[in-house]
Amino acid sequence: MKLFALIAYLAVVATTGCTTTHHETSSSRHLTEAQALALAEPMLPLPAGESYHVSFRNGTWEVFTAPDGVPVRAARVVLVQDIDGKTQVVNRF
């Protein structure tokens, strides 16, 4: 009888699966490059012949436009905080 109860218990556990709640990993709470670009695009229009450039440094995404094939010396930059998506527009020289 005990063997039957054990088999029934194991069958129930196997069919119901794990009920543990899976929490988001820390990396999924941060912005991707595409998300940072999507937040910055409305504040940074793309002129013809230019491309968006995105970089990540010290918890902040930097998004700017630059003429294709030309080194950038000064630019309007949108800073996007990785942790909360807040934006700020600055001029870099």
The pLDDT value recorded for residue 29 is 72
Amino acid identity for residue 80 in this structure:
V
The pLDDT value recorded for residue 34 is 95
Q: What are the tokens at 49? A: 């012949």
The pLDDT value recorded for residue 84 is 92
Tally of CA atoms within 13 A in the half-sphere of 30 that contains its CB: 12
Range of the domain at 66: 2-92
The pLDDT value recorded for residue 37 is 95
Low pLDDT (below 50) residues in the chain: 18-26
The pLDDT value recorded for residue 66 is 84
The pLDDT value recorded for residue 28 is 58
Number of domains making up the chain: 1
The pLDDT value recorded for residue 26 is 46
The pLDDT value recorded for residue 19 is 43
